[in-house]
Copies of this chain bind each other. A is one copy, B any other.
Amino acid sequence: MLDAVIIAIGSELLTPSKTDTNSLYLTDQLNTLGVEVRKKVIVGDDRGMLSAEIREALEQVAIVILTGGLGPTEDDVTRDAVAAALERPLIWRQDICDGIEERFRTRGRAMAEINKRQAYIIEGATVLANPTGTAPGLWIESGHNLIVLLPGPPSEMKPTFEREVLPRLQARVPEVVIRTRFYRVTGMTESDLDTLISPAYKDYTNPATTVLASAGDIQVHLRARCETADEAERLLAAVGDPIEKLLGDRIYSNNGDALEDVIGRLLRPRQETVAVAESLTGGQLGQRLTSVAGASDYFLGGLLTYSDRVKTALLGVDPEVLKRYTAVSAEVAEQMAIGARDRTGATYGISTTGEAGPVSATGAPVGTIYLGYATPAATGAIRLVMPGDRNRVRGFTVNAALDLLRRHILRLE
């Protein structure tokens, strides 16, 4: 089996607050191809140390992937360090310089002189186009080794990897059949989910099962590696089918799509629309719904109503109801959802209100949440209690609100 070392470059990655997340993405991609990651290294902007790491890695594994340090400043040492380790010169490429200059021009700006550094490549390297930034990646074959240089920002690294590296790697890596299942689940805690499904997977190492959770959104990955597709599918079914049965409609996606993508795909063919009214989430629910390209087909709008007065002014919430039940109540959540639906003409109105903390404004305990809904069939509200700090409470609430919308569209429960 082929193996790899991933090296992340950047002094900022050696500070107490930064972690290298690129290597997680790359490990996932490499494992899917059947390539094992044997070491991960983080070094600062230190040419000599980086060169030493590259030389060592080239002796240990077949593939060395480097991220970061391709920018235009003196701190960006990756090109130089790889050139030194491979004992190859750097070569000026006018076409790359022209491309960078053009990129600046289309944005109405002049290219700074230092950006020219990004137009040097290592002799013999194939240039990997960076669709979202100025620093191109490089693909270098040297003896039995492959060295890949990728930009550091994840928003540049991922598209460069997917478009330029993945197809080339696939052509190089020996055939293994890999089949996966990928469930996304909401509406339960990670430990409840694991207690429920672990009997179904714990005796199997193939497929490998991984459970990942963040703020009310849980991902279950199954990955089978076999010599034949039939065998892989058989093993996946042996573990995956019982898991699907146990989780039922708590699975909102089985292709990796996020909840907001699933909702878009439900609303669009139905020609239905949604509007939101947000208190404690302050815009995060709208932001999630509109993070999907083309969301304007079904997202009409939203009202962020942080104060009682604005809840009345923008959503028509009855001041008497606010006074009697406080803003953190089922009654107000319901009126907010009705207000959002009425004022925009949307098919569905969804609202959030609650106490995100750190202190309670209404007397309700921090973490108390009400989600309101207004649909062609009914109006109402549900109450939930969320764990964690302000950020987590808001994150949980948004996932719960999106799931409530999904359940109403699908007429579940």
Do residues A291 and B391 form an inter-chain contact, with CB atoms below 8 A?
Answer: yes
Is A19 in contact with chain B by the CB < 8 A criterion?
yes
One of B38, B210, B285 near A46 (C-beta < 8 A): B38
Our pick among B42, B282, B295, B387 for the contact of A289 (Cβ within 8 Å) is: B282
B132 near A389 with CB under 8 A, answer yes
CA distance A291 to B115 in the complex (A): 36
Digitize A280-302: 1 where CB-to-B-CB distance is under 8 Å, 0 elsewhere: 11111111111101011001111
Known: A283-B283, A300-B307. A17 touches B12 (CB 8 A): no
Q: Is A234 an interface residue (CB 8 A)?
A: no
Q: Give every chain B residue within 8 A of A212 (Cβ-Cβ).
A: 12, 17
Q: B304 to A310, Cβ gap below 8 A?
A: no
Contact bitstring A351-394, B, C-beta under 8 A = 1, else 0: 00000011101000001000000000000000001011111101
Nearest B-chain residue to A31, judged by Cβ: B16
A114 contacts B by Cβ under 8 Å:
yes
Q: Is the CB of A49 within 8 A of B44?
A: no
Which B residues are CB-close (under 8 A) to A44? Answer: 38-39
**Least Cβ distance of A68 to chain B in Å?**
12
- The yes or no answer to A187 lying at the interface (CB within 8 A) is no
**Subset of 18 A-B contacts with CB under 8 Å:** A14-B38, A14-B39, A17-B24, A17-B210, A38-B44, A49-B60, A71-B191, A115-B191, A133-B388, A280-B290, A281-B287, A282-B283, A283-B290, A296-B306, A296-B361, A300-B307, A302-B304, A314-B314
A residues with a Cβ closer than 8 A to B are 11-17, 19-21, 24-25, 27-28, 31, 37-44, 46, 49, 52-53, 56, 60, 71-75, 107-108, 112-115, 132-133, 153, 155, 159, 190-192, 194-195, 198, 202, 210-212, 214, 275-276, 278, 280-291, 293, 295-296, 299-307, 309-310, 313-314, 343-345, 357-359, 361, 367, 385, 387-392, 394
